[in-house]
Amino acid sequence: MSDAMLLNLVLLLPLLGALMLALVRHSPNAVRVTTTAVLTVQFALASVLYAHFDGAASGLQAATSVPWIADWGVSYAIGLDGVNVLLVLLTAFLGPLVILGAWTAIEKNVTFFHVNVLLLQFAMMGAFLAQDLFLFYVFWEAMLIPMFLIIGIWGGARRSYATIKFVLYTAFGSILMLAAVIYLVWSLQQQGGVPSFAFADLMQARLPLEVQTTLLAAFALSFAIKVPMVPLHTWLPDAHVEAPTP
């Protein structure tokens, strides 16, 4: 099996696991075992890719690029580079630990909880692997849904307050990023006549310094909210205190 196929499996396994749990009735223990198995296999495949990764080579490795929304210049494009290869391995490593930590802690709506964990894992992997700005934005926003549900359903006494605050902060950051994404792609189309969300194409855009500065500020502020960084961090204590430990 090629490294590109392995990377697609690393990305898609949690989604396939979530669909299986949602469509087939399982006992609570079977749900836990199945989710642990899916995420353990994901970590094993990620470890193989890490072992195959050539740190001395430039460019993407194990890459896949397939047209998705051709009229908009959007592609399903993923790949490994010297930064995200470590983040993919770390995320895959943490997945089974999260489920083991939830083994006895989560007793209500067990299936739905594990479906949300798998979907969150899928979205996080996608955000790290995406090489298309539209695809990245979809994964970036998709993370919010299972996070909101996990905190809102299995959280502590003040979970409603924490989830509302979390959504308001991150929604503001998302709007900033969306505006920057649209302007950046529009600028590239004005220069070349063809729309594209591919990172490689967007890096070739020639923009005035003041435009670059404004776009950088929009992206940086959006990321600063999500990280979060002071003074945009106040949603984090509430969300993490009220969230279940896993």
Model pLDDT, residue 187? 85
Q: Which long-range contacts (CB under 8 A, 24 or more apart) does 151-155 make?
A: 151/239, 151/242, 151/243, 151/244, 153/109, 153/112, 153/113, 154/106, 154/108, 154/109, 154/113, 154/243, 154/244, 155/242, 155/243, 155/244
Render pLDDT for 204-214 as a digit per residue (tens, 0 to 9).
888 889 888 99
Render pLDDT for 116-130 as a digit per residue (tens, 0 to 9).
999 999 999 999 999
Render pLDDT for 219-231 as a digit per residue (tens, 0 to 9).
999 999 888 888 8
Render pLDDT for 175-202 as a digit per residue (tens, 0 to 9).
989 999 998 888 888 877 778 888 888 8
* % of the chain at pLDDT higher than 70: 100
Average confidence (pLDDT) over 228-235: 87
Model pLDDT, residue 243? 86
Where along the chain do its domains lie? 3-242
Average confidence (pLDDT) over 110-116: 94
